Amino acid sequence: MGLSRLALPPGVLYLPGQRRDQPSASCRWKGEAGGARRGQPPSPAALEDVFNMFVVVGHSCPLYPRLPGRDCSGRTLPSDDAVETAEGRSSVSHQLAQRNDGPACTPVQRALLALTIPLEMLQVVKGRMMQAMSHGLSRQTHAQANVRMLPTYICSTPNGTEKGNVLVAELCQSHVRILLMTLLGDGNQSPHVTDKIFDVPGDSMQGPGEAVRGGHGSGWLLLGCPVPGRLGRAPGRCGGSRLPPTAWALGKGEQPVTPAVPLQLFDFIAQCVRQFLAGVSSPEERLPLGFVFPFSCKQTQLNKAELLSWSKGFSCSGVEGKDVVQLLQSAINKQELFHVEVVALMNDTVGTMMTCSTRERPCEVALVVDKGTNSCFMAEAQYVEVVEETNGRMCVNTEWGCFGDDDALNDILTPYDQRVDQESSNPGKKRFEKLVGSLYLGDIVRHTLMALSAEKALFIGSNVTVLGTKGALNTQQVLEIIDNEEGMAKARVALEALGLRPSERDCCRVQQICRAVVSRSAALCAAGLAAILGYIRHSRGLERLVTNVAVDGELYRAHSRFGEILQSVTGLLAPDCMAALVPSVDGTGRGAAIVTAVALRLADQRREMDQLLAPLRLSRTDLERVQALMRQEMELGLGQETNANSSVRMLPTYVRGTPDGTERGEFLALDLGGTNFRVLVVRVAEDGIRMASEIYLIPTNIMQGTGEALFDHIVDCIMDFQLKQDLMEQVLPLGFTFSFPCQQLGLDKAVLLTWTKGFSASGCVGEDVVQLLREAAQRKRHLALKVVAVVNDTVGTMMSCGYDDPKCEIGLIVGTGTNACYMEEMQNVGTVEGERGRMCINMEWGAFGDNGCLDHIFTDFDRLVDETTINPGKQRFEKLISGMYLGEIVRYILLALVEKQVLFRGKPCPRLQTRDIFKTKFLSTIEMVMPPPACGTGTVMGMVMLTVPLVRGSDGLALQQVQAILHDLELDASFEDGVLVREVCQTVSLRAAQLCAAGLAAVVEKMRENRGLSQLAVTVGVDGTLYKVHPRFSQHLQKMLRELAPNCTVTFLQSEDGSGKGAALVAAVACRGAEP
């Protein structure tokens, strides 16, 4: 009867690979299933055969309530809901007994249902796995976590530029494989591989881990024995000498026989390396070795790992808790292979991921389903809290085989699983692995068959005692039995080999059980994979994740339907993730070589990066020297006789006080400090300050034209504003913010010293800018212009914040340019007459270092930037700090990194040659850490489940923005390129903040000493886009200031329109002081 006529019960998932219109050739559909009406489940008599073509993993399966002792999620019901045990019935029969609600299920049906997990329950398993992963990644809960989430210190996948010779030592279940791979930098498409396999002596797997002296306890290693072929048991004699029965011969050789020495595992591996290299033409220069060590380790570096526990039949004493890399390196050194260096340790899962990854097709997840099972993935490094690394990504080895050791899987365990666990060498451990790994599937099937035979459901008339023997049925036989075409015959052969006399129906039922066990394994793997994919998607803040998953292992390779179930169930459990399964090719050998090659590439990159950025990374000593030099230049600038020799001009502003709150009236303010020019009217009243303003553009031709044209344009803007504000008939006091270096000769008289910020209008330098403004007003016949004060933006910032905080006596600008001002004691200002009170000093510290005093901290990149500006050799300090120049510094560094083939795979980047292509605003975006995705909860089967992992923020999102910026600049940037570019930006902006802190430390320390205080409390009014917008600049500045000036408590207050409101307040203070 065709399957199309069967109405599938809800929750039954069609298993791909079986024709929907043709029943199984190995076990035909019988009974009344074909007559089931649409919308109704098949009858119990036909259900058994349905499992040939379907696997129950779906929604609210109506068959689960018929399973006594469990609800529809598979959880154990209270005892009064279970059926009483019949006398003489086995404990297995009790747990799978018939219920009294609805049609009876046969023992085989109940067993199949017990081995089937509904989709809802798989969602629960996925949620628990995600929580277990979060616990493993957290520093607080890592030690108690069952899913260990061990960092591998592998921070990159291949980019195709890896090249050179790489050696691999791979420790396997029964042999050691030594491999030499030559990578050509061609995208790893055509590596040259040579390898050799050496059998592992059985005593080495369980003897002492380290060498012992004398005795015959752990086997013997014989050197120089002429035994051809693979390493194997030696014959009775070798070279005329009688050997102990446990001796082993190693390869070929014509050397005289040497005395046998005690054998230990790491010495054996080292001997294999020596023997292998003797048979190949390997270079004598440094030869990096990757060590594949498939056991649970605690890694603290890529080449440092302590063994946590043995498994897979290994139990060498004296190794657990020791660094296995060091043990192998010591053994290699004893062989005098001093050019061989162990640079990386990994397990087979990591190697699987690496061998499937290319630049064009990055692979960030790997899954191995072999005798054991494990997975790894590239996690955001900031969430791997057990390591210090916070940039980029790091491969995490989940060690998910231990998932469920905390009883998280108890509600899906069957009596068969519990029996398998009890007879294992580690009861209660590796619970997930015992449900999934091929080492255990045969025994799960065996215990199921044993229970069914006890219920007289199978093998009637046969002696089933053999089913009580562990390993009587192995996984290879299980995989052969589930085959559609030959499975029935294979089942009969396997069962008869055990001395059983199976009927055709027995063989069919055994095939069904095998399929259910293998399908459950695939479904559980899918739940784990879906958890990883969901975690990656949320931690990176993605709406949809598209990635490749490397897969390897006996189950995946030998059973095509395993991969089909894995793919389809993963899609159901993680619908927002598109994961393509990529079969691994020699993951443990070739993959390990690639891991090692990637490690070498990253090490080379790190050396180049550190060497290139070292001059920009200032030490505490460097900054203290800058602070001392700033203090020295300040003293010179304040002295009447030494002022001309100072690079810090220390210009008096004639501003002698800060606002006290009594200022009242209307004032005009002008703000000229860049390409935009503002005109404001500021109304100061008892209830606060109100302002109206308008922005006017200054065209480049006027910025760089004549002085008359520039000031005529400014007056035109003033008149337009007054007309719009109906102020043409009023004569209001005006404060003029002129943000260029000036020598003030009075509050309303300032001589321009030099243009900056791209201005170069002729006829202005050396002239009084207030007078130039007044002359332009006369030319325009605008007589209602009363300029009472000229200030720069730094002074305006201080005054603006001083209105809100009387302790504000310092102004700081860190934007397009940089400058500072502060209230100095009049007795120290030698350039102005008077000894009493204080005066605001405009430092003009952007020119600090123009006299050469800072040459020791200038780098080649700073010099390149300086040489291409309109004022080379001038404003040197400003060119290290301000926003106008930081992007250019970064651009020159990136060009150097491309030239050294560290970035963008060394490909030429013509766009980077364009001046100012890398904007300083990019630094702010690149260093930003995005906020975490919104957290929420959902309910699955009555359980509250996390819908978002427990993450603090998304560094991954920020790095995606880095890539987006680089792609917009037509730069072919990988994720790792983004990490390196961000490091460059961080280095440049950190130096800028620290230099700013060193200058400010000199200021506050001078103020403290001036006033004879042991502790100074002062507020800094601060403005500028770099300070306000950059996500880290203010933190770095304040942190370093605390270190450099520990006796000063400095508060930072961001200015609100300091250059506008501040100028008006200077005028207001001046008018207040002029009142009788």
Asked if residues 11 and 118 have their Cβ atoms less than 8 Å apart, the reply is yes
Beta strands in 564-710 (DSSP E): 577-583, 651-652, 665-672, 676-685, 688-697
Asked if residues 856 and 971 have their Cβ atoms less than 8 Å apart, the reply is no
Q: Which of 73, 568, 739, 924 is catalytic?
A: 739
Token output for 813 = 């600008």
Asked if residues 637 and 643 have their Cβ atoms less than 8 Å apart, the reply is yes
Q: How far apart are CA 751 and CA 768, in angstroms?
A: 4
Unique residue bearing structure tokens 């009688």: 242
Q: How far apart are CA 200 and CA 177, in angstroms?
A: 10
End-to-end CA distance of the chain: 112
Q: How far apart are CA 89 and CA 95, in angstroms?
A: 10
Q: How far apart are CA 868 and CA 895, in angstroms?
A: 16
Q: In what helix (H) or strand (E) does residue 557 lie, and over which residues does it extend?
A: helix 554-558
141-177 in b/e form (b: 16+ CB < 10 A) is ebeebbbbbbbbbbbbbbbbbbbbbbbbbbbbeeebb
620 classed as catalytic: no
- Among candidate residues 322, 343, 321, the one with its CA nearest the CA of residue 332: 343
Q: Which of 70, 631, 678, 774 is catalytic?
A: 678
Name the DSSP class of 387.
S
Cα torsion angle, 1061, 1066, 1067, 1068, sign: positive
Q: How far apart are CA 949 and CA 573, in angstroms?
A: 16
Unique residue bearing structure tokens 């199309």: 4
Residue 170's DSSP bridge partners are 177, 292
What phi-psi label fits residue 541: left (phi over 0), alpha (psi between -120 and 50 degrees) or beta? left
Q: How far apart are CA 623 and CA 107, in angstroms?
A: 80
Asked if residues 1050 and 1018 have their Cβ atoms less than 8 Å apart, the reply is yes
1074, amino acid identity: A
Q: In what helix (H) or strand (E) does residue 767 lie, and over which residues does it extend?
A: none
505 classed as catalytic: no
Diameter of the chain measured on Cα atoms = 124
Q: How far apart are CA 13 and CA 10, in angstroms?
A: 8
Per-residue CA distances from 493 to 28, 327, 469, 496, 497 (Å): 20, 47, 18, 5, 6
> What is the Cα Rg of the chain in Å?
39
- Among candidate residues 770, 744, 769, 741, the one with its CA nearest the CA of residue 754: 741
Asked if residues 325 and 303 have their Cβ atoms less than 8 Å apart, the reply is yes
Q: Which of 323, 417, 793, 850 is catalytic?
A: 793
- Among candidate residues 736, 738, 734, the one with its CA nearest the CA of residue 673: 738
DSSP letters, 299-325, are EEETTEEEEEE--TT---BT-TTSBHH
Cβ within 8 Å of residue 82, ≥6 positions away: 68, 69, 97
- Among candidate residues 689, 668, 690, 667, the one with its CA nearest the CA of residue 679: 668
Q: What is the 3-state secondary structure (H, E, C) of 852-893?
A: CCCHHHCCHHHHHHHHCCCCCCCCCCHHHHCHHHHHHHHHHH
Token output for 612 = 């290139």
793 classed as catalytic: yes
- The CB density around residue 357, as the number of other CB atoms within 10 Å, is 26
* 3-class secondary-structure state, position 185: coil
177, amino acid identity: R
As annotated, the active-site residues are 678, 739, 793
